[in-house]
Amino acid sequence: MKGTTHLAVGAGIGVTAAFVYPIRLEDAILYAAVTAFSALSADLDGTNLLSAKLGKVSRFIRESALWTGILSVGCLSWLYFARGLLYPKLAIAAVSLLLLGLLMKQGFMRNLLVSLIGAGLIYAGWNFRLYGLIGLGVFVAWAPWLNHRGLTHTVWAVIAWGAIARAFEEEWGIPGLMNFAVAGYLSHLLLDTMTPSGVKWLFPISKKSFKIRF
């Protein structure tokens, strides 16, 4: 399944849900971003975008995300290290954008960069005693080195992703975050289940690949 499909479905779920729940625009954007990000995270293992040729739209999304991410992370790092100013929510948004851009790249350097970002998240999480951040860091640092459509494409990953989101929900005071994150992540696995190679939902307990064909 192509990255843009995952992104579109994830963002769609987020926007729809944001309309159903009466929330502020700012929150709606946040929920849509969380759902879209969750809908792509399973492919931090580098899965399908390896084989899919990037279309113009995907390339544009990738480059915009990558460069906006790099610039924002740069600015926020400067503000933090030179001025002692910390903007946690903006920082998370910037790192997510950067990851989004990297998600659509491939190769050893990409994996190394993704893992470095994961290590950075673990470090920040440890520093501020934010367990959600530590969990996300472990996921991000680990995922690139897993087999394609392996552990990140299982029910266990959905549970782990839900637990990470739950910790974020409590530590950052964002009610309902877990539901959006799980919905986004599940949408990814369901869409992949509709592709010819399917998804090994119960890996490594069972190597059976589940498929839904129409």
Question: Footprint of Zn ion on this chain (CB under 5 A)?
Answer: 42-43, 47, 192
Dihedral (CA of 94, 31, 173, 185) sign: negative
- Residue (169 or 192) nearer to Zn ion, CB: 192
Q: Which residue has the tokens 């929920």?
A: 31
DSSP category for residue 180:
H
Report the 10 Å Cβ neighbour count for 53.
8
- Residue (42 or 94) nearer to Zn ion, CB: 42
Q: Which residue has the tokens 């625009």?
A: 25
Q: Which two tokens stand for residue 58?
A: 């995907």
- Residue (155 or 174) nearer to Zn ion, CB: 155
User: Residue 15 CB, nearest distance to Zn ion (Å)?
Assistant: 21
User: Residue 155 CB, nearest distance to Zn ion (Å)?
Assistant: 14
- Residue (42 or 143) nearer to Zn ion, CB: 42
User: Residue 48 CB, nearest distance to Zn ion (Å)?
Assistant: 5
DSSP category for residue 49:
G
User: Residue 79 CB, nearest distance to Zn ion (Å)?
Assistant: 35
Q: Where are the alpha helices (DSSP H) in the chain?
A: 3-20, 25-41, 56-83, 88-103, 108-128, 131-142, 155-172, 177-193
- Residue (179 or 193) nearer to Zn ion, CB: 193
What is the C-alpha separation between 214 and 211, in angstroms, rounded? 10
One-letter amino acid for residue 22 of the chain: P
User: Residue 94 CB, nearest distance to Zn ion (Å)?
Assistant: 24
User: Residue 197 CB, nearest distance to Zn ion (Å)?
Assistant: 10
Collapsing DSSP to helix, strand or coil, 199 comes out as strand
Distances from the Cα of 17 to the Cα of 10, 35, 96, angstroms: 11, 10, 21
- Residue (47 or 187) nearer to Zn ion, CB: 47
One-letter amino acid for residue 147 of the chain: N
